[in-house]
Amino acid sequence: MFAVKHLELIEFGTYPPAYNMALDRHLLSLCEADPGRAFLRFYTWAPPALSLGHFEPEAAVDRARAERDGVEIVRRPTGGRIVLHKEDLTYTVVVPRELRASVLDTYLELARCIVTGLAALGATVELARGPLEKSVARAKPCFLSAARHEITYAGRKLVGSAQLVGRQAVLQHGSIPIGRGYRDVANYLACSDAERALLTCDMALKTACLEEAVGRSLAPQAVAWSLGEAFAGLAGGGVKPLNLGTNPLDSLSRACV
């Protein structure tokens, strides 16, 4: 449990890619300015988007293919590799930085909440104890990047998460694929046709979506609700709604990446 009274919950919504990243950065700045606050957010993307990790070169993306299919490109404040946000739910948690806790400690506490929330939907998921098998392709999306303590279903990666550690706050966000749309990421990587075919095969074999894990269709709002219930235990007073105003796009849309 973090040393905050409440997690302030931003209402679920579907927003443009640049706004989604701008709002995540804004929440981090609010927590940096007042470490007594903490935030929780669930959202989807319209149009679909490729998000690049903070240090990932734009040359990793085939921009022409993305533009052809109406897929936008944004940069995340966190690290990691490319994610295609299509048929997924994204979560964001911003909490005060616990000086005695490591980056891994924070990640594990948040990951346990995700496991609990997904289990409540009927998904048999776990924190993997060791690194997953890596793809041999040079280009590599987030869901084929192996790490210890991944959230998996039947040995296949289910959730991709990343952190940004500030002076007084930590932002962690991640993608939870609900349907199979995220697997199309290989179509938009700057690689050979042979590598693209290999990556497409790897995504099918080594990753999973939530609908596969539960065996039925799911609405993003239902997944968000279940996860919100699990995250509520991070704060002594649980979750309370946060009103961003009647038109938050006005104040944040100019902060695009």
The CA distance from 126 to 154, in Å, is: 9
Q: What is the pLDDT of residues 236-252, one digit of tens each?
A: 778 888 877 655 555 55
Active site annotation includes 142: yes
Q: Which residue has the tokens 């990243």?
A: 21
* pTM assigned to the model: 0.89
**CB atoms near residue 180 (< 10 Å):** 16
Burial 104-114 (b: 16+ CB within 10 A, else e): eebbebbbebb
The CA distance from 66 to 200, in Å, is: 16
Q: What is the pLDDT of residue 257?
A: 34
The CA distance from 233 to 226, in Å, is: 12
- SS3 (DSSP) at 255: helix
pLDDT band for 253, please (50, 70, 90 cuts): very low
90 token code pair: 């994204």
In angstroms and rounded to an integer, the radius of gyration of the C-alpha atoms of the chain is 17
Contacts of 224 (CB under 8 A, 6+ apart): 12, 42, 89, 91
Q: What is the pLDDT of residues 84-106, one digit of tens each?
A: 999 999 999 999 987 667 888 88
> Of the listed 113, 142, 191, 209, which one is catalytic?
142
Given its phi and psi angles, is residue 215 left (phi above 0), alpha (psi -120 to 50 degrees) or beta?
A: left
224 token code pair: 């968000």
Which of 80, 109, 79, 89 minimizes the C-alpha distance to 7? 109
| Least confident span in 67-71, 132-136, 169-173, 182-186 | 132-136
Q: For the domain covering 7-246, report its CATH number.
A: 3.30.930.10
Domain ranges (residues) in the chain = 7-246
Q: What is the pLDDT of residues 144-169, one digit of tens each?
A: 765 668 899 999 999 999 999 999 99
Q: What are phi and psi of 162, to 5 degrees?
A: -150, 160
Q: What is the Cα 113 distance to its own chain's centre?
A: 14
CB 28 within 8 A of CB 77: yes
pLDDT above 90 covers a percentage of the chain that reads 71
The CA distance from 29 to 4, in Å, is: 16
Which of 148, 151, 173, 165 minimizes the C-alpha distance to 23? 173
- SS3 (DSSP) at 204: helix
